[in-house]
Amino acid sequence: IVYGGPGGTGHFPVCIFTPPGGVRPKGIFLMIVNRGRAVIDEAESKPLPYWPAQAIVGRGYVAAAFSNGDVAPDDKADGFKSGVFPIFDPAGQPRAPDAWAAVAAWAWGASRVIDCFEAEPGLKELPIAVVGHSRGGKTALWCGAQDSRVALTISNDSGSTGAALARTKRGETIAEINRAFPHWFSGNYKNYNHREADLPVDQHLLVAAIAPRLVYVAAAFDNLRADPLAQFRAGVEAGPAYRLLGRPDLGATEMPGADVALHTGAIGYHAHTGLHRLDAADWKLFMDFADRHLRTAAVRTP
């Protein structure tokens, strides 16, 4: 994919696998890969449970992926000097406190991949699910909230500044995430270090911004640093927006046990046994949810 702006042009690769035999796919799963391009390049020779392209295609879906680092570096030492930033940021000026950062840039990249789908006769008009794990899960939520072409947003173990409520969250705090990853979010966000109670919004509003389209919040039952309960509560608290727009909510107010999936509403949830990961069992549940809901998802709009 090639793009251009005031500072020149850039590009990044996308990998797309389609079901064989000329069968019309049921939809597209677009994975925001945050583990390096090798996960994508070796999807056939050394497949990983993190992105099981063959299993996705086997279920009748298109499997697409790009590496976040090919859009913007996941490197706090880079100082926004590489990737999309020098192409679109005003040259020779200090960055504004509300300027986009890495997570927003990666979400922008996902939307450019969707532009690509819409230009392909065999892919356009297929319902699209955007998927991310950890920092990729934060990115998927931001993409889904901004791009109404995303029919299903899947956030796996996104934790702080992803799906987890900041005000009640255990484990990683806003100050900790800003200190470890100062390049992920705008400068203004650092004003809320140690001040979660003063936030004018919380993460359930990010989930609610996706309504009435489908959203799936997945977590790790034993990863208290990312806090599965805070992620579940965001799904619960996003429910009024879905009900207002005539869509069924999460369907529960009490967090279920490990590996119990909630798939009845437009908001999905499960927390797998164990710690921070994305594997084949998670993907099976994502595709089960898509099989159940994706064809009846809210109509895509330009």
Q: Out of 67, 134, 155, 160, which one is annotated catalytic?
A: 134
Which residue type sits at 281? A
DSSP 95: P
Enclosing H/E stretch for 33:
strand 28-33
Q: Do 245 and 177 touch, CB atoms closer than 8 A?
A: no
Residue 134 a catalytic site member? yes
Q: Out of 82, 111, 263, 276, which one is annotated catalytic?
A: 276
CB atoms within 10 A of CB 272: 23
What does 75-94 look like in DSSP terms, one character per residue? -TTSTT-STTHHHHSPTTSP
Query: At what angle are helices 135-146 and 102-119 packed, to 10 degrees?
Result: 60
Residue 82 a catalytic site member? no
Q: Do 84 and 72 touch, CB atoms closer than 8 A?
A: yes
What are the residues whose beta carbons fall under 8 Å from the beta carbon of 181, sequence distance 6 or more?
A: 76, 102, 135
Question: How far from chain centre, in Å, is Cα 301?
Answer: 19
Beta strands at 62-67 and 15-17: parallel, antiparallel or unpaired: antiparallel
Angle 85-88-93 from CA coordinates, rounded to 5°: 80
User: Which are the catalytic amino acids?
Assistant: 134, 276
